[in-house]
Structure 1
Amino acid sequence: MRIGISELFTGEDGRDGAFVRETAVLLEELGFHAIWYPEHVVFFPSYDSSYPYGTLGGNEVRALRGVYDPFVGLAAIAAVTSTIRLGTYVCVVAQRNPIMLARHVAAVDVLSGGRFDFGIGVGWSEEEYTALGVPFARRGARTDEYLAAMKVLWSDEEVTGFDGEFVEFAPLLAFPKPVQRPHPPIVVGGNSAATVRRIVEHGQGWAGYNLEVDEIGRFIDQLDTALTAAGRSIDEIELRVGRRAKGTEERDWEDDARYIEQCEPLGLHEVVVSPRFSVDGYEAKARRYAEIVGVGA
């Protein structure tokens, strides 16, 4: 089973452009399968919306002031790496214009030589939607339609147009096309029934988050049943789950190692860890973490 890593690239507190490049090279050298990039366009002093994936993640979001745009950051990472996969965990699709988003996805896939995984979600922060002038209501339906439109834009066929509720366009030329055909894997984030439906309709992968081992097993069973009913197979789907370290000590990293070991019999293809090393002593901590959890083993 592979181990990916989610990292924060904020542009502050030492996490500047050089940090992005040097960290990417180090994580590839250590043997991490993928670098997964989170997305928030803006942050807020306080939230009425509830973060749905646990206290640790919620506290981190409330403490952050910003992160680099994932497509800009991943393009920079693509330029200094050659084998590690790159992905969004996750891109909030409904907040973006689908023509521009399809173009950005294709560009990163081309610049990385076909190493991009398009992790997508609907988002949880109504404040962020409001700031961007996008309705929070029916964001799931908007996401589904945007994905359908982007598949048309990525197609080898002439783009004859699209006529939907949320997006429409006349015949046009949409380039570049992604290296991965028909498009980069769409990895659907979330743990809900809507996630299952969206994977069945659009996905080649699942990106769960903050789940106990028994919860992972139940979700995979539900997904398997839904895929079979739709004439698809669970074997078509890359299964992964995100895991946030409970702290920054070696005992917390050993806890991650136990979690990874428990996940392997479930049929997961990847666990995406979030150890959140401090900038000071980053390389030594990353090397020790990789050793403990078995990266590259």
Structure 2
Amino acid sequence: MKLGISELFPAAGPRDGRWSLDAAALIEEIGYNSVWLPEHVVFFPSYRSQYPYESGGAQEVHKTLGVYDPLVLAGSIAAVTTTLRIGTYVLVVPQRNPIVTARQVASVDRLSGGRFQLGAGVGWSEEEYTALDVPFERRGARMDDYLAAMRALWSEEEETSFSSEFVEFEPLYCYPKPAQKRLPVIVGGNSRATLERIVSYGDGWAGYSRTHEDIKVFIDKLSVLMDAAGRDMSELSLKVGRRSKGKTEKDWEDDRAYIEEAMRIGIDEVVVSPRIGDENYEKDMRRYFEIVGG
């Protein structure tokens, strides 16, 4: 089974930059398939926006109080690893200029030797959009245009131009190109719009905190839409995020049961957050892999 790690690599406290790079090298050495980096540009003392996933909500997000820019950290991780896949889970694409983002992503893919995967989502925090002076409304339509524009910029064509509702640029040169012929865009979310976005622009799904029944329903709907569009499900990499419910070996055995069933119904990689503390990080990460990934 493919097992990815999504650790909150905060930019404060004991998990500083050196810790993040050492942890990534350790994750690779143990045998995990990939590491995934979250994105929030800024955090807030309180949120009006509704957190769409687990209980604890936005106030739990607030406790993180900062994460490294995922593309900057991805480039650093690429320098200290050789086989580990690196991705974002997820980059909030509509908040970023698409030309700048396309260039940054292609740079990371080149520097990593083609190991990067762009997990992309629309985000949920209106407060963050407001702080960045980007409209929260119609962020899904904005993201579709941005993904289409980035695909054009990553193409082998030397000259690129683009025209849509949210993106407009005259012929230009955008380099570097990604190392991968088709850089994987893994679309995050659980909505109908997510399904359509995967079919139109994506190479996979990045679900989060889904029950097995939720996963099965989503995959069934996606299969119908892919078939209607003339695409095959084998083109997609289906991932789901799993946050461990606790820190004991019994909790980790529950993770294994969840992962095994998720893979039985069509998921090819589970991205886990195992709630492992700093004190015995290496020992516990190795033991977690023995129980969950062995």
Task: Return the TM-score normalized by structure 1.
Answer: 0.97
Aligned to 1:81: 81
Query: 1:101 offset after TM fit, Å?
Result: 0.2
- Match of 2:172, SS state, is coil
Q: Which runs of 4+ in 1 moved over 2 A?
A: 56-60
- Are 1:139 and 2:139 counterparts? yes
Query: 1:159 offset after TM fit, Å?
Result: 2.5
Q: For residues 14-57 of structure 1, give each alpha carbon's deviation from its aligned partner in whole angstroms, at most 9, with x where no partner exists.
A: 11111011100100011111001000000000000011011156
Q: For residues 243-271 of structure 1, give each alpha carbon's deviation from its aligned partner in whole angstroms, at most 9, with x where no partner exists.
A: 00111222211110110111121121101
Tell me the distance in 2 between the aligned counterparts of 1:104 and 1:5: 22
Equivalent residues, number? 294
Tell me the distance in 1 between the aligned counterparts of 2:32 and 2:59: 26
Amino acid at match of 1:254: E
| Counterparts of residues 119-134 of structure 1 (less than 5 Å) | 119-134=119-134
- Are 1:148 and 2:151 counterparts? no
> What residue ranges of structure 2 are gaps of 5+ in the alignment?
none
**For the Cα contact (< 8 Å) 2:47–2:58, is it kept in 1?**
no
Aligned to 1:198: 197
Q: For residues 149-193 of structure 1, give each alpha carbon's deviation from its aligned partner in whole angstroms, at most 9, with x where no partner exists.
A: 111111111324112211211111100110001x31010001111
Q: For residues 192-238 of structure 1, give each alpha carbon's deviation from its aligned partner in whole angstroms, at most 9, with x where no partner exists.
A: 11110000000011111101111111110000001001111111111
Aligned to 1:210: 209
Aligned to 1:28: 28
Query: 1:291 offset after TM fit, Å?
Result: 0.9
Aligned to 1:61: 61
- Match of 2:108, SS state, is helix
Q: For residues 62-85 of structure 1, give each alpha carbon's deviation from its aligned partner in whole angstroms, at most 9, with x where no partner exists.
A: 212100000010111000000010
Aligned to 1:103: 103
Amino acid at match of 2:249: E
- Match of 2:283, SS state, is helix
**For the Cα contact (< 8 Å) 1:120–1:186, is it kept in 2?**
yes
Identity of aligned residues (%): 59
Query: 1:60 offset after TM fit, Å?
Result: 3.0
- Are 1:91 and 2:91 counterparts? yes
Between 54-63 and 117-126, report the one with greater CA deviation: 54-63
- Match of 2:15, SS state, is coil
Query: 1:141 offset after TM fit, Å?
Result: 0.3
Aligned to 1:272: 271
- Match of 1:55, SS state, is coil
Tell me the distance in 1 between the aligned counterparts of 2:57 and 2:203: 26
| Counterparts of residues 9-28 of structure 1 (less than 5 Å) | 9-28=9-28
Aligned to 1:283: 282
- Match of 1:283, SS state, is helix
Aligned to 2:257: 258
Amino acid at match of 1:18: R
Amino acid at match of 1:242: G
- Match of 2:166, SS state, is coil
Tell me the distance in 2 between the aligned counterparts of 1:254 and 1:60: 25
Tell me the distance in 2 between the aligned counterparts of 1:17 and 1:178: 26
Tell me the distance in 1 between the aligned counterparts of 2:234 and 2:54: 29
Amino acid at match of 1:21: L
Tell me the distance in 2 between the aligned counterparts of 1:57 and 1:157: 44
**For the Cα contact (< 8 Å) 1:8–1:276, is it kept in 2?**
no
